[in-house]
Amino acid sequence: MEVIFVFTLIILLLIIAGKYITLAVRDVTKRKQTERELIESEHRYRSLVEVSPKAILVFQENHIIFANQAAMKLFGAVNEQDLLGKSIFEFIHDEDRVELINNLTRLSKHENVAIREYRFHTLDGRTIFVDSVGTNIMFNGQPALMTVGSDVTEKKSLQEQIKMSEQRYKSLFDYHSDAVYSLDLAGRFTSANGVCETLSGYSPQELLDKNFSELIHEEDLAETIRIFHLTTQDGGSQQNNRFRLKRKNGDSIHLDTTTIPIIVDGQTVGMYGIAKDITEQIKNQEMIQHLAYHDYLTGLPNRNMLESLLANETIPIEKVAILFIDLDRFKIINDTLGHSMGDLLLKRVAERLKASLTEKDLIFRQGGDEFIVILTDSDRERAGAAANQILEALSTPYKLNTTEVYTSPSIGISLAQEDGETVATLIKHADFAMYQAKKAGKKTYRYYSCIKYEGDFDPLTMELELHKALKQKELFLHYQPKVNLQTGKMFGAEALLRWNHSKRGMVSPERFIPVAEESGLIIPIGEWVLSQACSQNKKWQENGLPPIVISVNLSARQFSHASIVATVEKILGETGLEPQYLELEITESMTFDIEHTISTLHELKKLGVLISIDDFGTGFSSLNYLKQFPVDTLKIDQSFVRELNHNHDVTIVKTIISMAHHLQLKVVAEGIETREQLVFLQQHDCDEGQGYFFSKPLSAEEFNKVWTRIERLVVKKKDA
């Protein structure tokens, strides 16, 4: 039993031992498997960690004890040793140091720390942004911290760039000095900056409810819609589009816009607009335009305007009549009373002109004292009536400040039906007719057509006949005495050319001299006059009459002719007249070329002859130039003397006399017809005079007879 028991026990023990052995063997196998698995797992994780594209670092007490390939690359390390053992704080950017310390402390306390971005300095000197997250781990049996991170420097800079460009765009939009807005394809506002409000008066919010077309001036709408479609349909930017914007308060302003299509994924979804307020600029342009086309003084349209109307053929010619108006003796008013008075006079003249015409008529200031009136619906009669009206309106004395000033117009008229095919021709012809009105004694008007057909002696025939006249001895001279107003003695005579045409009778020098001048015939004719006058004067002297000065008129062409000095010298030589008995009369219009005038006059003076300025006060020369001309005498134009009757030109005549005396010039008054005129001139120290009151121009024979009679006519100044 015992044996059985022992056996059984042994068996039992064996079974138990076997079981244990089996268990122990099993245990060892399992552990080995676990160990293997662990190693494998660690190996796997290590490999994973090693090749992970994320940078993985493990620290203990802030010192790096592990760094994977990506971490080495991130920090610019060549091998592990560059990092291992180093404190992470060697790499952290100063500004992120505190943050890193805090987060590492929290991690070590097992607190959660969200993903964070830190700046690190790398071993190769870069500064990088790293996104990282950390966790607690056991490493080599020791607690450690592991961080996983990636380099976000590039992403960050891209983000920065996007942010910057967004900010720039926003700034550009918000702070642009121009209005910036966008529209959708239907033309509704989708955005608008602050300037849009300044310009339109509508807030950006109010604009979002509107279509752009609601804001455009009706007249500009079609063009603006065209530009909108051009931008949004053809995809092209459109610049310098100008239109008027209706503001909220009802005003209009001018805008200049640039439109740019908004293209998203190749599709146009709307447009941007940039608009600038150019109202000021437009106003300035309009003002410049106005200044360019209007006379600053009178506000009337000027010559540029007339020329542009003519160039564009804006004026229908059918019923046009042109009045070419020139003020009589304006220059002298300007010179004696001053330019501001002259300006004032021109303003008043413009006002009176406007008042005496209708709205339909056009008035231009051609320049100086010339005005052009275009009557748009006129005929001969109406033009004559208008001219009469203007004559009356402009001849009424003007009260300028305290001075009473008198002027009158000379008017030339041309008519569309008769005088030209174009408005430009009509103006030229009216100008010519005005000149004839001047010649006819001023303060009157002349029709171009009448001049042309007057006695049907047209300029061409006249020129042919003049050629013959010289040969056929149809030309002769008349002499008009010139009297010393202080002594009553005759001191000279003016030689005046006459033409007794074989068939037509007497032709006025006013008519044939311009033709002779134009054709060049004045050169031989003028030479003949000079020679004739000098020899006649010499004859009187030889006949025992007291020596007098003979005055001969020179024409512009003669005066500018190169041989004038030689001709005068030759004639003096031929006739034997001493030069102090010859006076040459030139007019202001010949002194236009100042240099030439001065040199010719000096040469003539060297010969010893006298020089006078004829018709003084009607031409263009300025009193200032007179100082430079070596002249002896001024002849006051007869129009001033005539107006002495009306007391208008008293100031001007007095001024001319005193000014001439100041310049040591003698003054001769032309056209004295009455005793009153004579007395006035004597009282104001006018030196000499000439006119019908003493004698009309006479033939040489008649002249002998009046010699003594004239002297009796003059009451000497001291007796007057």
Note the residues at the interface with ligand C2E (CB under 6 A). Answer: 480, 496-497, 508-510, 513, 526, 529, 553-555, 585, 614-615, 638, 670-673, 690-692, 697
Alpha-carbon separation of residue 513 from 176, 558, 582, 666 (angstroms): 74, 12, 21, 27
Question: Which CB, 653 or 672, lies closer to ligand C2E?
Answer: 672
Question: Which CB, 341 or 706, lies closer to ligand C2E?
Answer: 706
What is the smallest separation between the CB atom of 356 and Mg ion, expressed in angstroms? 31
What is the smallest separation between the CB atom of 628 and Mg ion, expressed in angstroms? 22
Is residue 594 within a helix (H) or strand (E), and if so which, with residue range?
A: helix 594-607
Q: What does 508 bind: ligand C2E, Mg ion, none (CB cut-off 5 to 8 Å by kind)? A: ligand C2E
**Contact predicate 582/550, CB 8 Å:** yes
Cβ neighbors of 409 (< 8 A, separation 6 or more) are: 325, 326, 327, 328, 390, 391, 394, 395, 443
Q: List phi, psi (to 5°) of 631.
A: -110, 160
Stretch that binds Mg ion, among 203-211, 349-357, 444-452, 552-560 (CB under 5 A): 552-560
Name which position in 295, 615, 649, 687 contacts Mg ion (CB under 5 A). Answer: 615
**614 contributes a contact to Mg ion by CB under 5 A:** yes
Question: How crowded is the C-beta side of 566, counted as CA atoms within 13 Å?
Answer: 5
Q: What does 673 bind: ligand C2E, Mg ion, none (CB cut-off 5 to 8 Å by kind)? A: ligand C2E
What is the smallest separation between the CB atom of 714 and ligand C2E, expressed in angstroms? 15
**Contact predicate 228/238, CB 8 Å:** no
Question: Which CB, 336 or 551, lies closer to Mg ion?
Answer: 551
Q: What does 619 bind: Mg ion, ligand C2E, none (CB cut-off 5 to 8 Å by kind)? A: none
Q: Pairing relation of β-strands 252-264 and 267-277?
A: antiparallel
Question: Which CB, 400 or 523, lies closer to ligand C2E?
Answer: 523
For ligand C2E, the nearest residue by Cβ is 691
Question: Which CB, 551 or 655, lies closer to ligand C2E?
Answer: 551
Name which position in 220, 335, 585, 643 contacts Mg ion (CB under 5 A). Answer: 585
**Contact predicate 480/539, CB 8 Å:** no
Q: What does 510 bind: ligand C2E, Mg ion, none (CB cut-off 5 to 8 Å by kind)? A: ligand C2E
Start-end of H helices in 67-127: 69-75, 97-108
Helix axes 303-311, 279-293, angle to 10 degrees: 90
**178 contributes a contact to Mg ion by CB under 5 A:** no
Total site size for Mg ion, rule CB under 5 A: 5
Q: Rounded distance, CA 503 to CA 501, Å?
A: 5
**Contact predicate 689/669, CB 8 Å:** yes
What is the smallest separation between the CB atom of 670 and ligand C2E, expressed in angstroms? 6
Question: Which CB, 254 or 478, lies closer to ligand C2E?
Answer: 478
382 CB burial (10 A radius; 0-12, 13-18, 19+): middle
What is the smallest separation between the CB atom of 697 and ligand C2E, expressed in angstroms? 5
Q: What does 480 bind: Mg ion, ligand C2E, none (CB cut-off 5 to 8 Å by kind)? A: ligand C2E
94 is written with which tokens?
Answer: 């100063």
What is the smallest separation between the CB atom of 438 and ligand C2E, expressed in angstroms? 12
**Contact predicate 155/136, CB 8 Å:** no
- Considering only residues 669-708, where is the footprint of Mg ion by CB under 5 A? 670
What is the smallest separation between the CB atom of 409 and ligand C2E, expressed in angstroms? 19
Question: Which CB, 68 or 553, lies closer to Mg ion?
Answer: 553
Alpha-carbon separation of residue 711 from 481, 487, 589, 692 (angstroms): 10, 9, 33, 14
Question: Which CB, 614 or 688, lies closer to Mg ion?
Answer: 614
Q: Pairing relation of β-strands 142-151 and 127-139?
A: antiparallel
Q: Rounded distance, CA 579 to CA 598, Å?
A: 19
208 is written with which tokens?
Answer: 């979002």
Cα 314 off chain centre by = 23
Question: Which CB, 366 or 553, lies closer to Mg ion?
Answer: 553
Q: List phi, psi (to 5°) of 24.
A: -65, -45
Q: Rounded distance, CA 105 to CA 116, Å?
A: 14
137 is written with which tokens?
Answer: 């781990």
Question: Which CB, 196 or 590, lies closer to ligand C2E?
Answer: 590
Dmax (CA) of the chain:
214
Q: What does 529 bind: Mg ion, ligand C2E, none (CB cut-off 5 to 8 Å by kind)? A: ligand C2E
Q: Rounded distance, CA 517 to CA 521, Å?
A: 6
**553 contributes a contact to Mg ion by CB under 5 A:** yes
Q: What does 691 bind: Mg ion, ligand C2E, none (CB cut-off 5 to 8 Å by kind)? A: ligand C2E
What is the smallest separation between the CB atom of 589 and ligand C2E, expressed in angstroms? 11
What is the smallest separation between the CB atom of 597 and ligand C2E, expressed in angstroms? 16
Question: Which CB, 419 or 687, lies closer to ligand C2E?
Answer: 687
Q: What does 620 bind: Mg ion, ligand C2E, none (CB cut-off 5 to 8 Å by kind)? A: none
Residues in contact with Mg ion by CB under 5 A are 553, 585, 614-615, 670
